[in-house]
Amino acid sequence: MIESDEDRADALFHALADRTRRDILRRVLAGEHSISALAASYQMSFAAVQKHVAVLERAGLLTKRRQGREALASGDVQMLRSAGRLLTELEEVWRGRISRIDDLLNQFKE
Amino acid sequence: MIESDEDRADALFHALADRTRRDILRRVLAGEHSISALAASYQMSFAAVQKHVAVLERAGLLTKRRQGREALASGDVQMLRSAGRLLTELEEVWRGRISRIDDLLNQFKE
DNA sequence: ACAACATACAACCGTTTGGTTGTATGTTTG
DNA sequence: CAAACATACAACCAAACGGTTGTATGTTGT
């Protein structure tokens, strides 16, 4: 399973496209939280929150570290910035500033 | 159906979470394109491309205007910037700079 | 007028998503 | 050691997603 740029962009934006996940991300960006501490904040089941955390983790927006019986999650601001860069790149297409524009636009042509 | 901020964020990131839609967005940010001109660029059916355009339109990332039998789509850079702002807001949570942080973090609590 | 073109939209279908419950495993703590 | 806690993960389910084909409607050019 090749992890292309487009794969990572898919994962990033998909992870951000759910309000519960954005809320979890806010919390773990503000500071480390255990999964169960996070789960306590929502009406859904522990397992559901666990899955949301896994989606954020696969997108690289959050990392987990084990401490005893707890899994502590913290947000990764670099990945957030890399999502921002993707948007700026799009904006530069609009500005007509991108030199690689043909590469970008022809990636589906054959 | 209330269009809350979170609803719009869901729609925005979901629209961006598909590589075909990002590619369509690049093209219409670079300049106006008819739906069929866009459809010609991909291997999928016209209807599939039409649906992708509709998703981008509902997210506000693109607008359509009718000219004769053609529907011309162009990208909306302002909505793109508003997506960027959502990301910087998240980044500011990380920086500990957001004053409204309690509002942001407690929106699911009761 | 009519054929070709451009769009819109409904119906359908397999896969993914977002949730659930249940079970297993490891870690504290009394 | 046993009970309570924290996590992991499988199985299941309804709904949404991303694609298809087919049909209808309006527009253009000969």
In the predicted structure, residue B110 carries a pLDDT above the cut 50: no
Q: Does B90 sit within 8 Å of A26, measured CB to CB?
A: yes
Distance, in angstroms, between B9 CA and closest chain A CA? 7
Q: Does A14 sit within 8 Å of B14, measured CB to CB?
A: yes
Mean pLDDT of B60-89: 97
Q: What is the pLDDT of residue A3?
A: 77
Reported as a single tens digit per residue, the pLDDT across B34-44 is 999 999 999 99
Choose the mutation target among B74, B85, B93, B98 for the interface with A, i.e. most A CBs under 10 Å: B93
Mean pLDDT of B39-63: 98
Residues B59 and B7 sit within 8 Å (Cβ to Cβ): no
Averages of pLDDT over each 10 residues, chain A, 110 residues: 85 98 97 97 97 98 97 97 97 80 54
In the predicted structure, residue B12 carries a pLDDT above the cut 70: yes
Within 8 A by CB and 6+ apart from B28, the residues are B38, B56, B62, B73, B74, B75
Question: In angstroms, what is the C-alpha Rg of chain A?
Answer: 17
Q: Which nucleotides of strand C come closer than 7 angstroms to any CB of the protein?
A: 5-11, 17-22, 26-28
Which amino acid type is present at position A8?
A: R
A35: nearest Cα among A68, A10, A12, A59: A68
**Partner-chain residue, chosen from B17, B29, B108, that has the shortest CB–CB distance to A94:** B29
In chain A, what's the furthest Cα-to-Cα distance? 53
Query: Which pLDDT band holds residue B3 (cuts at 50, 70, 90)?
Result: confident
Query: Which pLDDT band holds residue B102 (cuts at 50, 70, 90)?
Result: low
- Residue A4 and residue A61: Cα distance in Å, rounded? 17
- Residue A105 and residue B34: Cα distance in Å, rounded? 16
Question: 């990392």: which residue's tokens?
Answer: A63
Which amino acid type is present at position A7?
A: D
In the predicted structure, residue B66 carries a pLDDT above the cut 60: yes
CA B55 to each of CA A63, B29, B107: distance values in angstroms, whole numbers, following the listed order: 31, 16, 27
Residues B17 and A4 sit within 8 Å (Cβ to Cβ): no
| Nearest chain A residue to B59, by CA | A17
Which one is predicted more confidently, B4 or B76? B76
Distance, in angstroms, between B67 CA and closest chain A CA? 22
Q: Does A29 sit within 8 Å of B9, measured CB to CB?
A: no
Q: Is the CB of A50 under 7 A from strand D?
A: yes
Helix (H, G, I), strand (E, B) or coil at B11: helix
- Residue A38 and residue A32: Cα distance in Å, rounded? 10
Question: Whole-number Å distance, CA A88 to C1' D28?
Answer: 40
Question: 């929502």: which residue's tokens?
Answer: A42
Question: In angstroms, what is the C-alpha Rg of chain B?
Answer: 17
